[in-house]
């Protein structure tokens, strides 16, 4: 049994299964084995009452996110409010999709490179975070040789960037270009122009500004084979025939998608016009819009100097943007432009701060072009009246400007974050590193953009960025996935990286998406006016007058057409665009021909030769282009042969979707397929960065090759491994990798504007079911685990107001503890605080500080257990009169602390055990499979404890057993709720437990009355008799029975369960132990002097103590600090008065300094010859040695051993799987649960 106000430190086996909301609030000590950070259960009405009372709005914080989201009110505007009583998006922490993905790749049988990184070549199912993952890295016992030292600082005289580069890039297996190695910045960061991304000698200009665009299959179809534009029918006549807006339009996406497509295209391609060459397009005879004498003028694309001289040297086209996904449209594609756009302060970009209509504060916008960067304009608009951006087309429309503005703000927001993390970094380091982080985010957003086209037929996984390639090559996710090293062969062409192709630059326009107008909405979601999109071109002042929020609110609340809708007449038949009449389709057709690109059939003949799984049929007859007879007639009228049909025309007419998408097959292959290839050809790709120290290096010898890798793989202090690195959890979350980046666009909007509410996927229109509006919490975007130094107090994890870290601690206390050790391990004391509701708990692990608490145990001048229990409202459970008198403690101390008295209970425990096994058999004869014995264990414990406390009469009453179990659950819940409420509302917390007391009284009062009458007349001991000797009031006796039984249940649920399940889990645990128990009998059982005598119980006793050692909770025992106490290990750091000083049984019991290298390994024979140091800092299960050490421990040991022996002699257990020590336990708020495992149970043959 146990003394209820004594020290203990093992929690219950499993939290009660209620369909209620769980919140951790404070610590609870039970006599035998706790303290237990308890939780309370609330129905939703109670929950929202409490939220309203405390002003709390963030009640479902998910540690995988840096933000909270809640369903919005239906009328929420862009400064939208949270609804009353908002239900959270997640009631429990969502899965980490990155960890899940990595587990699936590692655990497959043929992934040997990754398997070699992790213990046993696997990642267990219970690993669900980066903190969990690092524990499974298979670090060598001794450093591998040689271990390379940390890189020499750049400014050191002997530093040689070429030598370092040669070492870091040795896996590339090709000669490196020395021009890129002279200066580390050329390969550590992105260059502005895009060169030195591909480091191969003589090829470093691949993808850079001013180079020729690749051609997908090296096709040049000039009329003369050299440079003359390919012939074809009148481009305006083709536009009129095949590209007019359809009468029936299908809508699927928001205008935000259009702005994003524009930005992406401007990022990777910019066709500079020739100043000398143009193509004139006259009007066809049947022209209905433009006057017949109109001529549309289309400038030819500027040629790469020196090309177009012969058939062996045909004309190539200049790309004036870097072709990498590097956000050059924001930063610039040349060093001159980029430097003009920088503020030169803390890595930030230049801005202008403007408060626009309807917003609450000024915010950043692109600066006006006073620095004279190249900027396109229209007649009558000065370039200095337009915004300055990295691309000349920045001001083309407001949809594009919205994306520019969001990315500008995001860059500067990340600079603020990185500056706080790296205060010694200069402007250049901050700017260049954030630029890499931005391109990583951007690539992940581009992935979510391509996902906007997926249908339910797209095979899973859909969000890892690789479904197109799997479809294209007919492979599964185990064959094609992000686990690749750079360079990835699948995205190289002729030994070079994929960059933007000339075909993609023409086809990837998706002009059908263009809309004539979109709504401008105010903060109340009211449409102010319908804005003509054409009129937003080169209108920066108008954009400022309206403001980003009103533009975005309109773009996410309206629709754009899907494919097969035709092009809007505002852009197909524009009266004036930059001073000229204009047809956007004519422009594409002309550019295809003047660049000598292949026709539709020419292109796809070459494509089909690559043996793709997805084949594009060649249109050798007109009817194969379209099922529409009118289209077929027009094709035959305009073209001489099916092979002459232009590439953009064939793609426009394609009626077959690419599998699993809503994109025409041919258009997707040329556009999205190429975009994906470019992203995965990039040396700075987020995918390659995440794999660097798993596939190229190993975590214990990790050497980043660029600044992004350096940020993502942070140093870890591992003795003997100076280059040990593992994932930086903050930056993985900032990149939204736990959700595969699928929330980044939502975050980009809500973190960089006053739009608080937007649909979960902003590229799709809002739908209450499939795409609901989600609001960001008022307190979101604050790093959840704050460090808040309070004067000379140790640093603390503060968390939310009112409840602090309670929610995170209830869900995953081990994660919170490890974060604390990770963050504060540099201090001498390693002490840190965790705020749980009204109390801050300071975790004490330094031996000198533990000794300080032990020395105070007798006097309690500095640390008080009683005051701690009072602070967490323990008297609500024990009732105030019992709490003050401490009678239950005295009774247990007097009787269960007496060896002769306890010995009389041993036969009672044995009889009750055998009686239960007969009444509640797991099997009657035949073996049973898939048995979950956890609930059966709870009943078993309750039955035996009830027999010892209540006596032979009525102890087995089913109503009493059920009520005891309910009291156990409700007691924990009551304490949690009470600690959240002020005194005048604590009656709310006590209601449930008082009802349980009444129920127990109803059942036990007749038993008590009968027992009084026969007191002393039975030979068997009954603990109730000890109570009757001291208490006359039968109601008080009933209450004391409830309290004492409850203590027994809580403690045995953890210790007995762990002892039994650990033995079963060992392959030969039962077969080795049972022979040692053949001569064991309860008459010889002595838990007071067990190491002084040889006993057949010794093997079981040792196994029991080993299970108790390893099943300790994350925190406890604990004390209230009565006065300001300097830490013995670090006197400058003082524990504040009225805070909590708590030990950590989990940490102490797994300390390798105390227990050896196998401290975390279950060794059932560990205590055969030597007693555990109970009460010393190494073994704190029953508290530190002193007057408050748990006196019920002897009864607990006897009960565990007798019950375990009875079960093992009756049944043979075969678990469905063996759990590793890491897999056994489920930690929640001080409780230690066991992972349920199915069992095959069979009766043992009787001798």
Annotated binding residues: 511
Angle at 373 between CA 371 and CA 378, to 5 degrees: 110
Phi, psi of 678 (to 5 degrees): -65, -45
**DSSP E strand boundaries for 512-554:** 517-521, 527-532
Q: Can you tell me which residue has the tokens 């809708």?
A: 565
Residue with the two structure tokens 């190249």: 374
Starting from the edge strand earliest in sequence, which strands make up the sheet with 757-759, in order? 69-71, 773-776, 757-759
Separation of alpha carbons 377 and 397, rounded Å: 11
Token pair for 356: 């626009």
**Contact, 529 vs 338, CB < 8 A?**
no
Whole-angstrom distance, CA of residue 1241 vs CA of residue 673? 55
Peptide bond connecting 461 to the previous residue in cis, omega within 30 degrees of 0: yes
What number of CA atoms fall less than 13 Å from residue 568's CA on the CB side? 15
Q: How far, in Å, CA of 240 to CA of 649, rounded? A: 12
Which helix (DSSP H) or strand (DSSP E) does residue 153 occupy?
none
Looking from the CA of 936 toward its CB, the CA atoms found within 13 Å total 19
**Whole-Å CA distances, 1207 to 918, 1164, 1204, 1230, 1244:** 11, 18, 5, 28, 10
Tokens of 627: 């099922």
* Phi/psi at 800 (5° precision): -75, 155
Contact at 8 Å (CB) between 40 and 72? Answer: no
Please name the residues in contact with 1196: beta carbons below 8 A apart, sequence gap of 6 or more: 1, 2, 32, 33, 1048, 1051, 1052, 1055
Cite the annotated binding site for heme b by residue number.
511
Q: What is the DSSP string of 407-453?
A: HHHHHHHHHHHHHHH-TT--HHHHHHHHHHHHHHHHHHHHHHHHHTT
Give Cα 399 distance to the centre of its chain.
31
Task: Say if residue 942 is preceded by a cis peptide, omega within 30 of 0.
Answer: no
State the CB neighbour count (10 A cutoff) for residue 1097: 26
Q: Can you tell me the distance from the alpha carbon of 389 to that of 405, in angstroms, rounded to the nearest whole number?
A: 10
Query: Which letter does DSSP use for residue 804 in this model?
Result: B
The beta-strand segments (E) located in 751-868 are 757-759, 773-776, 796-797, 832-836, 839-843, 863-864
- Residues forming beta bridges with residue 835, ordered by sequence position: 840
Alpha-carbon gap, residue 217 to 213, rounded angstroms: 12
Orientation angle between helical segments 1193-1210 and 1034-1065, nearest 10 degrees: 50
d(CA 15, CA 1233): 7
Tell me which residue has tokens 């009110």: 73
Number of H helices, E strands in the chain: 46, 34
CA distance 1030 to 1035: 13
H-helix or E-strand spanning residue 336: helix 335-340
> Is 1025 exposed, middle or buried (CB count within 10 Å of its CB: 0-12, 13-18, 19+)?
middle
Residue 261 φ/ψ region, left for φ over 0, alpha for ψ in the -120 to 50 degree band, beta for the rest: alpha
Q: How far apart are CA 406 and CA 410, in angstroms?
A: 6
Mind giving me the DSSP string for 97-162?
Answer: HHHHHHHHHHTSTT-HHHHTTBGGG---TT--SHHHHHTTB---SS--SSPPPPPPPTTSTT--HH
DSSP state of 611: -
DSSP state letter for 562:
-
């Amino acid at each position: 049994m146990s003394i209820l106000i004594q020290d203990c430190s093992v929690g219950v086996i499993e939290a009660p299964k209620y369909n209620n909301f769980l919140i951790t609030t404070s610590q609870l000590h039970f006599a035998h084995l706790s303290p237990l950070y308890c939780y309370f259960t609330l129905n939703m009405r109670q929950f929202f009452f409490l939220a309203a009372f405390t002003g709390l709005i963030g009640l479902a914080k998910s540690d995988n996110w840096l933000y909270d989201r809640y369903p919005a009110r239906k009328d929420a505007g862009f400064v939208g409010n949270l609804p009353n009583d908002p239900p959270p998006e997640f009631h429990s922490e969502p899965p980490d999709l990155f960890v899940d993905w990595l587990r699936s790749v590692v655990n497959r049988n043929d992934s040997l490179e990754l398997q070699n990184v992790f213990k046993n070549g696997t990642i267990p199912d219970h690993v669900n975070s980066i903190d969990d993952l690092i524990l499974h890295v298979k670090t060598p016992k001794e450093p591998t040789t040689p271990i390379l030292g940390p890189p020499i600082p750049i400014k050191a005289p002997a530093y040689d960037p070429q030598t370092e580069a040669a070492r870091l890039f040795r896996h590339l297996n090709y000669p490196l270009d020395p021009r890129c190695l002279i200066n580390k910045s050329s390969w550590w960061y992105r260059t502005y122009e895009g060169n030195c991304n591909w480091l191969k000698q003589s090829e470093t200009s691949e993808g850079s500004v001013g180079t020729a665009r690749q051609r997908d299959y090296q096709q040049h179809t000039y009329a003369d084979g050299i440079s003359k534009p390919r012939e074809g029918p009148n481009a305006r006549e083709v536009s009129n025939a095949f590209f007019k807006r359809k009468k029936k339009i299908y809508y699927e996406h928001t205008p935000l998608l259009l702005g994003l497509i524009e930005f992406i295209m401007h990022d990777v391609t910019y066709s500079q016009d020739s100043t000398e060459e143009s193509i004139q397009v006259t009007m066809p005879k049947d022209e209905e819009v433009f006057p017949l004498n109109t001529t549309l003028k289309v400038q030819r694309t500027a040629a790469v100097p020196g090309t177009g001289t012969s058939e062996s040297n045909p004309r190539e086209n200049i790309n004036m943007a870097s072709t990498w996904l590097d956000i050059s449209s924001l930063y610039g594609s040349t060093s001159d432009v980029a430097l003009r756009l920088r503020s030169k302060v803390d890595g930030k970009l230049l801005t202008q701060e403007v408060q626009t209509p309807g917003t609450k504060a000024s915010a950043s916008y692109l600066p006006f072009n006073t620095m004279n960067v190249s900027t396109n304009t229209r007649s009558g608009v000065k370039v200095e009246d337009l915004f300055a951006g990295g691309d000349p087309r920045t001001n083309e429309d407001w949809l594009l400007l919205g994306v520019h503005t969001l990315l500008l703000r995001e860059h500067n927001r990340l600079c603020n974050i990185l500056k706080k993390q790296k205060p010694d970094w200069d402007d250049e380091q901050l700017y260049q590193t954030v630029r890499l982080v931005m391109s990583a985010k951007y690539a992940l957003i581009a992935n979510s953009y391509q996902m906007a086209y997926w249908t339910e037929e797209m095979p899973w996984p859909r969000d890892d960025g690789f479904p197109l390639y799997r479809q294209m090559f007919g492979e599964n996710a185990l064959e094609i996935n992000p686990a690749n090293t750079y360079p990835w062969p699948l995205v190289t062409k002729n030994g070079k990286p994929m960059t933007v192709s000339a075909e993609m630059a023409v086809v990837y326009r998706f002009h059908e998406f263009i809309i004539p107008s979109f709504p401008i909405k105010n903060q109340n979601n009211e449409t102010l006016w319908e804005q003509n999109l054409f009129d937003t071109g080169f209108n920066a002042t108008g954009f400022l007058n309206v403001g980003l929020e009103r533009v975005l609110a309109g773009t996410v609340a309206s629709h754009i057409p899907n494919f097969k809708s035709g092009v809007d007449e505002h852009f197909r038949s524009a009266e004036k665009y930059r001073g000229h009449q204009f047809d956007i389709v004519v422009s594409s057709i002309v550019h295809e021909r003047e660049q000598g690109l292949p026709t539709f059939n020419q292109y796809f003949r070459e494509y089909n030769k690559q043996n793709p799984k997805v084949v594009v049929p060649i249109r050798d007859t007109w009817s194969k282009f379209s099922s529409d007879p009118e289209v077929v007639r027009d094709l035959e009228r305009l073209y001489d042969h099916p092979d002459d049909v232009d590439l953009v025309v064939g793609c426009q007419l394609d009626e077959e979707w690419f599998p699993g998408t809503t994109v025409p097959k041919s258009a997707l292959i040329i556009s999205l397929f190429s975009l994906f290839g470019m992203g995965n050809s990039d040396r700075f790709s987020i995918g390659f960065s995440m794999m660097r120290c798993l596939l190229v290096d190993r975590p214990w010898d990790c050497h980043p090759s660029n600044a992004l890798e350096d940020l993502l793989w942070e140093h870890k202090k591992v003795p003997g491994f100076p280059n040990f690195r593992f994932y930086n959890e903050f930056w993985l979350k900032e990149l939204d990798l736990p959700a595969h980046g699928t929330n980044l666009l939502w975050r980009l909007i809500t973190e960089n504007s006053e739009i608080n509410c937007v649909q979960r996927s902003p590229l799709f229109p809002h739908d209450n079911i499939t795409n609901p509006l989600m609001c960001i919490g008022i307190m979101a975007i604050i790093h959840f685990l704050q460090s808040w130094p309070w004067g000379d107090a140790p640093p603390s994890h503060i968390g939310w107001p009112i409840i602090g870290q309670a929610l995170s601690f209830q869900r995953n206390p081990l994660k919170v503890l490890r974060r604390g050790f990770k963050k504060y391990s540099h201090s001498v004391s390693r002490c840190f605080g965790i705020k749980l509701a009204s109390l801050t708990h300071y975790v004490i692990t330094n031996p000198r500080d533990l000794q300080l608490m032990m020395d105070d145990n007798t006097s309690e001048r500095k640390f008080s257990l009683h005051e701690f229990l009072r602070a967490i409202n323990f008297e609500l459970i024990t009732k105030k009169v019992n709490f003050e008198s401490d009678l239950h403690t005295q009774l247990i101390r007097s009787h269960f602390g007496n060896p002769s008295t306890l010995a009389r209970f041993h036969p009672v425990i044995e009889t009750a055990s055998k009686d239960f096994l007969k009444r509640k058999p797991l099997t009657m004869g035949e073996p049973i499979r898939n048995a979950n014995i956890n609930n059966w264990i709870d009943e078993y414990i309750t039955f035996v404890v009830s027999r010892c406390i209540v006596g032979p009469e009525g102890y087995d009453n089913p109503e009493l057993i059920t009520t005891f179990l309910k009291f156990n659950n409700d007691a924990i819940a009551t304490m949690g709720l009470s600690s959240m409420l002020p005194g005048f509302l604590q009656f709310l917390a006590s209601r449930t437990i008082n009802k349980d007391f009444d129920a127990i009284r109803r059942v036990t009062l007749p038993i008590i009355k009968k027992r009084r009458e026969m007191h002393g007349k039975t030979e068997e001991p009954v603990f109730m008799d000890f109570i009757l000797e001291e208490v006359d009031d039968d109601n008080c006796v009933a209450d004391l029975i409830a309290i004492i039984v409850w203590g027994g249940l809580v403690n045995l649920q953890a210790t007995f369960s762990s002892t039994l399940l650990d033995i079963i889990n060992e392959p030969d645990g039962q077969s080795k132990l049972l022979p040692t128990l053949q001569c064991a009998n309860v008459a010889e059982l002595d838990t007071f002097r067990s190491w002084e005598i040889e006993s057949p119980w010794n093997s079981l006793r040792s196994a029991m103590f080993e299970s108790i050692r390893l099943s300790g909770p994350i925190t406890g025992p604990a004390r209230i600090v009565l006065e300001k106490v300097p830490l013995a290990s670090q006197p400058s750091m003082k524990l504040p008065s009225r805070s909590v000083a708590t030990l950590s049984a989990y940490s102490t019991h797994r300390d390798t300094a105390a227990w050896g290298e196998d401290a975390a390994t279950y060794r059932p024979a560990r205590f055969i010859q030597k007693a555990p140091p109970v009460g010393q800092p190494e073994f704190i299960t029953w508290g530190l040695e002193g007057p408050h050490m748990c006196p019920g421990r002897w009864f607990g040991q006897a009960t565990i051993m007798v019950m375990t022996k009875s079960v093992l002699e009756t049944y043979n257990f075969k678990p469905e799987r063996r759990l590793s020590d890491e897999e056994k336990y489920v930690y929640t708020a001080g409780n230690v649960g066991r992972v349920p495992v199915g069992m095959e149970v069979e009766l043992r043959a009787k001798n």
